[in-house]
Every structure is written in C-alpha cells, then in structure tokens.
C-alpha cells in the first residue's frame, strides 16, 4: 500500500531526476576512471618504448665495443707474437754469446792457472799479485756468463732437465772454496770449511748446478764482508737420519748484513740492497735468484738470517735422494 502510494504519487516525478542524476554521476565516474586507466596505459607504453629505444642504443653500443674489442684483441695477439719473436731472438742472442764466451774464458783461466802454479816458469811476488787479479777477474766473468746462461735456459724451461748423479758434497765444497782462496786472501778474509768428522753419503744432485749455487753464496759472502772478516762454509749432517734425509750447508760471514726492510726482496731477480751497491758496485742481482731456482729444483730449500753490520748466514738443504 505504502509503496503503491509512493509509486503512484507525484514523488515519481521527484525520484526520476534523482535516479537520472545518480546514473549520470556513476557513468561520469566510470568514464573518468577508464580515462585515467587509459592514460596510465599510454604512459606505460611510452615508458616501454623509451626503454626499448635505450636497449636498442645499448645493443648498438655493445656491438661497437665488441668490434673495437676484437680489433684490440687482434692487435694484442700480434703484439704478443712480436714480443715472443723478440724474446726468442734475445734468448738466442744470450745463448750464442754466452756459449761463445765460455770457451775463450776457459782458455784464459787455464793459462792463468799455469802461470799461477809456476808451470810456465818461476814468477816473482809482484807478478803473482797481477796474475791473482787476472784469475779473480776471469772467475767473475765466468760466473756472470754462467748466471746469464742459467737464467736464459731456465726462462725457456730447458733447465728443468737436470742431470742427477751421486755427488760427494764435501769434495765439491772444498773445490769451491779452493776457487775463492785467492779473492778472499786479497781482502784478508779468512775463508774456511767445517765438516763432520765421518764420511758423508753422496747426494743425488746436478753437480754443475749445485757448484754454481755454492759459488754464488761464497762469492757473495766474500763480496759483502769487509777486509779482515771471516767466511765459513759449514756442512751439517744433523738431518741425515730424519724422515727427509739430507745435508745442510751454511755459508756464514761477518759482513755488512741485510737490513730488515730488504729481507723480503733478497731472492728477487735483479734486487740489490743500497749497502751492497756501495760495497760492491758491480753486481747483477741475479745470483740469489739462481741459487733459489737451483735448490728448489733439487727439492731443497734456502733461507738466511742476518743482522746489519754483524753478518749473514745462508742455509741450504739438499735431500739425499730425489723422488
Ligand atoms: P749481487 O750480489 O750481484 O748483487 P745476488 O742476487 O747474489 O746479486 O744478491 C742479491 C742481493 O742480496 C745483494 O745485492 C745484497 O744486497 C744481498 N746479499 C746477498 N748475499 C749477501 C751477504 N752475504 N751479505 C749481505 N748481503 C747479501
């Protein structure tokens, strides 16, 4: 009844416009909403298009860089090949020169030895002094040539082929010491060898290479010890009965010593301390690098202890057998 009266009454004329307004309002609202949704989609599409453009540009840049990189790589490969060629030429040059120098040097040494030992007739003490100097210089030259040859071969990977044989280390050390009595004597340095009383077993080693390592250590000990000092080569058998049986050799001097700041660089190729340069201007900085290389190729080890102005001891261990 109530609703009938409402529907039938004049209130319809009031409600209808209201409904129309509400419908209009709702349609407007949905239209606005749809419009803002569409504009969001347009914005997003624009953003995506910009991103695609950026990606296309990045891809272009990337291909440019890739092309530049491969041309650089090509240049690098060429430069490397050229470097290898130069390296080979240098190695060949050093190898030929050092080999060529060895023969005449051996001849000079042999002649000096004949003169020194009086085999070519008696010599005066003045003459002996000069001949001793000649022997010393020849010995130095031989050592430099041998060092260069070793480094050259080592860098080519050839020196890996060591010739192992049983070596009487005690006799070898006496031989090395004999070579240095003259240079030690001219600096009034007392050079001595200390070894255990009993006979020592032979060690498996490359005799020539171990001799070279010992020569470098004894040479340094004499070079870096002032006049009237002491250089001792000690052979120790304390490790003979250990699991890793071997001999230890020490080269001890009372020389200039090695400063703390230099200790980590001592085995580096070409390193020379300031003290060493002023004590002995002529030096290559190659000796200890070679010593380490040789000893490590024998599965041994080398180290030192030193105190500035008190002296230095180089230790070198060599196993009896090679695995
Ligand atoms: P070089 O003797 O030609 O300089 P080495 O490689 O034999 O080259 O030695 C490198 C450096 O190690 C030397 O320049 C020196 O500074 C230091 N050195 C080596 N042996 C001794 C030593 N017995 N006493 C003091 N310094 C040493």
Residue 107: the pLDDT is: 94
Q: Percent of the chain, pLDDT > 90?
A: 65
The number of angstroms, rounded, from the C-alpha of 180 to the middle of its chain's C-alpha atoms is 30
Is the pLDDT higher at 230 or at 179? 230
Tell me, using a 6 A CB cutoff, whether residue 273 lines ligand 1: yes
pLDDT over threshold 90, residue 3: no
Q: Which two tokens stand for residue 76?
A: 């690098």
The predicted structure's pLDDT at residue 9: 57
Query: Using CA positions, which residue lies closest to atom 4 of ligand 1?
Result: 285
d(CA 275, CA 308): 10
Binding site membership of 251 for ligand 1 (Cβ less than 6 Å):
no
Kindly give the residue spans of alpha helices, DSSP state H, lying in the chain: 2-8, 11-116, 125-155, 169-186, 207-223, 274-279, 287-297
pLDDT tens digits for range 125-149: 999 989 988 988 898 899 889 888 8
Any atom of ligand 1 within 6 Å of the Cβ of 196: no
**Ligand 1 lined by 216 (C-beta under 6 Å):** yes
> Any bridge partners for residue 194, and if so which?
234
Q: CB of 272 closer than 6 A to ligand 1?
A: yes
Ligand 1 centre and the CA of 150: distance in Å?
A: 18
- Going by alpha carbons, the residue nearest to atom 19 of ligand 1 is 220
Residue count (the chain): 323
State how far the alpha carbon of 74 is from the alpha carbons of 31, 67, 71, 167, 244, in Å.
64, 11, 5, 51, 51
Nearest CA to ligand 1 atom 12: 266
Report which ligand 1 atom has the smallest distance to the Cα of 286. Answer: 6
Per-residue pLDDT tens over the stretch 72-97: 999 999 999 999 999 888 888 888 88
Summarised one tens digit per residue, pLDDT across range 188-222 is 999 999 999 989 999 999 999 999 999 999 999 99
List Cβ neighbours of 14 (8 Å cut-off, separation of 6 or more): none
CB of 191 within 8 A of CB of 231?
yes
């Amino acid at each position: 009844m109530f609703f009938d009266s409402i529907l039938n009454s004049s209130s319809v004329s009031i409600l209808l416009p209201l409904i129309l307004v509400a419908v209009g309002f709702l349609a407007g609202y949905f239209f606005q909403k749809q419009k803002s949704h569409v504009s969001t989609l347009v914005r997003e599409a624009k953003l995506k298009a910009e991103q695609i453009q950026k990606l296309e540009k990045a891809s272009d840049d990337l291909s440019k860089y890739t092309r530049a990189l491969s041309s650089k790589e090509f240049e690098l490969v060429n430069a490397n090949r050229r470097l290898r060629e130069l390296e080979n030429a240098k190695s060949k040059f050093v190898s030929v020169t050092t080999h060529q120098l060895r023969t005449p040097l051996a001849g000079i040494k042999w002649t000096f030895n004949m003169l020194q030992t009086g085999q070519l007739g008696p010599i005066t003490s003045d003459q002996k002094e000069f001949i001793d100097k000649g022997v010393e210089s020849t010995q130095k030259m031989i050592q430099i040539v041998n060092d260069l040859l070793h480094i050259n071969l080592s860098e080519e990977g050839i020196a890996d082929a060591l010739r192992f044989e049983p070596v009487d280390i005690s006799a070898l050390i006496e031989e090395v010491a004999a070579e240095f009595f003259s240079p030690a004597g001219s600096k009034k340095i007392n050079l001595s060898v200390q070894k255990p009383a009993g006979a020592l077993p032979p060690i498996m080693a490359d005799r020539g290479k171990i001799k070279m390592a010992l020569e470098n250590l004894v040479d340094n000990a004499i070079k870096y010890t002032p006049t009237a000092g002491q250089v001792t080569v000690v052979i120790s058998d304390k490790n003979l009965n250990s699991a890793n049986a071997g001999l230890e050799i020490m080269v001890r001097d009372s020389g200039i010593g090695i400063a703390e700041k230099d200790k980590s660089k001592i085995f580096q190729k070409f390193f020379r301390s300031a003290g060493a340069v002023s004590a002995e201007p002529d030096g290559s900085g190659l000796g200890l690098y070679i010593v380490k290389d040789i000893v490590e190729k024998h599965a041994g080890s080398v180290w030192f202890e030193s105190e500035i102005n008190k002296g230095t001891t180089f230790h070198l261990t060599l196993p009896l057998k090679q695995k």
